[in-house]
Amino acid sequence: MKKRVLALLLAGVMAASSLTGCGEKEEPAKKTEDNKEEDEPEEEPEEKKPAEDEKEVSAFDGIWIRDKTHDRWVVIKGSKWHEVDYNGEASSDEKVEYREDGKYADLIDSDGSVYLTFSIAPDGGLFDETFQETYSPEDKLPDVFPGQAAATLGFDDIADGWYYEVIDPDNLTDYVAQGTIQIEADGTYTMCWNDGDVTTGTILIEYAENPDGSSYPVYSFFAGGNNLWIAGTYDESEPQYLWIGNGGMERLVRGGRGDEFLGQGRMEFEGMYTDPDFGRSTIEIISQDGIHYSIDVEWASSHDETSYWEIADAVYNESEGVLEYSGAKFYVRTGSKDDVKYTNGSGTFFFDDDGMLNWISDNSKEDGVDGSTVFEKLPW
């Protein structure tokens, strides 16, 4: 029975073959490289879609600049990261480890510890979970990455001419000017020393934290590349100073901008003066901040009569190189009696070509000070 069924099946196959088109010879089916018949459609390869965690990880890739100080750049690419400092020096590549489905990126240090941990900030930057700081994409600040020694932001407050002063070791209340320094808005500076030498360099801004959580800028002055010269702090409440070192042993005193300032130096008004011919008068000038001065004058007219001037605020005029005052009090003491002549006097102090102090009062009719008497500085 089985042989009969098989014969019938073979006959059916032969009959079906004879139904091919008239005069056409049946061609054998062609086969593909995969040994599949041509008339069988090939399956399209399924497109691989990135997993959600891979999308998150790629968001960390890029060059990121530290918003707070613009002194550090972090470069992340996949599983590697490195850092670039303000001089453009790059660290070696280290490992990046991602966790919580790419929510956090741990930057691993060379010793295997976590150096920084980043998450994606809402504005598209990175948030430093370790120090609670933000980093922005490098392309937002194209002028400061990398290799530029100082950022182009943050120097407006101190871009000015300054006097570099060091405290006098023989008198810890006095400062001695060492020269002048011009700071530019791009974070570069030129220092002209009193002996004529010139130092140039760049400034780095960092921020220190107060106990109340607020921060203040610290400016580090570098000379000759990575050689730290001085570092100072600046407070907006005292804009005339940039304090250097511990205890204010050095300082920068604001003097003003202009080519005529740099390298010219300024005669120091602070000190004690007397008239060299008779020695009957003394002038004491005390600097409050390098710009504002208090002045007390005592002038013995006779054995029984002495004239006094009290000048609470004389202001240094940078363009003229003089001290200008107003609101001065002038009185004459005879015995124990004071006779007040005026309380709103004005005038000017300046140095002549010989370095002698000149004084001209706008009230010369009342006080007799007409500039005819000059004063020399005492050596103490």
C-alpha 343/C-alpha 363 separation (Å) is: 11
Task: Give the pLDDT band of residue 306 (cuts 50, 70, 90).
Answer: very high
Question: 219 and 276: one domain?
Answer: no
Burial class (CB in 10 A: 0-12, 13-18, 19+), 317: middle
The listed range with the strongest mean pLDDT (58-62, 220-224, 247-251) is 58-62
Same-domain pairing of 290 and 365: yes
Instruction: Output the six-digit token pair for 14.
Output: 């032969």
pLDDT at 52: 43
36 inside domain: no
d(CA 219, CA 251): 12
Amino acid at 224: G
Confidence of residue 40 (pLDDT cuts 50, 70, 90): low
Residue 297's pLDDT band (cuts 50, 70, 90): very high
> CA 273 → CA 18, 83, 128, 279, 349, distances in Å?
134, 58, 59, 10, 12
pLDDT at residue 345 in the model: 94
- Lookup: tokens for 128: 């430093």
CA distance 340 to 345: 12
Longest dimension (CA), the chain: 161
Query: Domain count of the chain?
Result: 3
Q: In this structure, is residue 260 part of a structural domain?
A: no
pLDDT at residue 312, as a whole number: 92
Give residue-wise pLDDT tens across range 62-95.
888 777 655 567 889 889 998 876 555 678 899 9
- The enclosing domain of 97 has a CATH number of 2.40.128.290
Phi, then psi, of 2 in degrees rounded to 5? -60, -35
Q: Are residues 166 and 225 in the same domain?
A: yes
291 vs 118, higher pLDDT? 118
> 215 in a domain, yes or no?
yes
Calculate what percentage of the chain has a pLDDT beyond 90: 22
Distance between terminal CA atoms of the chain? 140
pLDDT surpassing 80 at residue 328: yes
* DSSP symbols for 167-211: EETTEEEEEEEEEEEEE-TTSEEEEEETTS-EEEEEEEEEEEE-T
Same domain? For 190 and 132 the reply is no
> Which is higher by pLDDT, 191 or 258?
191
Alpha-carbon distance of 324 to 362, in angstroms, equals 11
User: Of 228, 254, 280, which residue constitutes the final position of a domain?
Assistant: 254
Report the candidate in 115, 88, 98, 109 with the shortest Cα–Cα distance to residue 60. Answer: 98
State residue 334's pLDDT score. Answer: 92
pLDDT of residue 256: 57
Distance separating alpha carbons of residues 59 and 109, to the nearest angstrom: 21
DSSP 61: -
Asked if residue 352 and residue 311 are part of one domain, the reply reads yes
Distance CA 114, CA 79 (A): 14
Among 101-115, 198-212, 359-373, where is mean pLDDT lowest? Answer: 198-212
Looking at the fold, whether 250 and 320 belong to one and the same domain comes out as no
- Average pLDDT in the 167-186 region? 82
Residue 353 placed within a domain: yes
Range name among 42-46, 199-203, 237-241, 353-357 with the lowest pLDDT average: 42-46
* 151, 187 Cβ separation under 8 angstroms: yes
Question: Does residue 266 fall inside a structural domain?
Answer: no
Count of CB atoms situated within 10 Å of the CB of 126: 25
Domain check: are 166 and 121 in the same one? no
The answer on 344 and 280 residing in a single domain is yes
H or E segment at 300? strand 292-300
Range of the domain at 290: 271-377
Confidence of residue 5 (pLDDT cuts 50, 70, 90): very low
Write down which residue in 254, 285, 305 finishes a domain.
254
Residues 297 and 205 in one domain: no
Residue with the larger pLDDT of the pair 361 and 54: 361
CA distance 51 to 84: 31
Same domain, 238 and 281: no
> Is there a domain that residue 119 lies in?
yes
- 165 and 119 together in one domain: no
Residue 319 counted as domain residue? yes
Q: What is the pLDDT of residue 69?
A: 57
The domain boundary residue, chosen from 144, 174, 204: 144
In a domain, 303, yes or no: yes
- Both 227 and 289 in one domain: the answer is no
Average pLDDT over residues 333-350: 93
**Mean residue pLDDT across the chain:** 75
